[in-house]
Amino acid sequence: MPGKDRRKGGGGDIKLTSSSTTATSSRPRHRHSNSVDGSAYGEVMEAKKAMPPDKLAELWNLDPKRAKRILANRQSAARSKERKARYILELERKVQTLQTEATTLSAQLTLFQVCLCRF
């Protein structure tokens, strides 16, 4: 049938490309995680465990390129974790400084208000 959209039917002669489905597709493309640990589906991510060092050494003999990539990824993750910890400490220091400043300014404001009431 000309003019009809045959995507829902089976075996039509219309070929769909990625550009033709982007605007009309109603299903979600990607799901992004809002969780702290970054897992999108909770238990699904927990099933994938880190490869122990002995298995990594074994993999090094079988597929050195993959083993090197895994090791580099672990090192990158460790650096990222350290950066995040330093960033959090810096934010905590900043919060403490701002709280102290807010307390000081509040006390000064109260003092100025008392002085103004006398006049």
Between 117 and 68, the more confident residue is 68
Cβ-in-10-Å burial (0-12, 13-18, 19+) of 59 comes to middle
Which candidate, 24, 23, 25, 5, places its Cα nearest to that of 14? 5
Helix (H, G, I), strand (E, B) or coil at 44: helix
Residue-wise pLDDT for 19-62, tens only, equals 444 444 455 555 555 555 555 544 445 557 888 988 988 999 99
Rounded CA separation 42/52 (Å):
22
Q: Check residue 53 and give its pLDDT.
A: 86
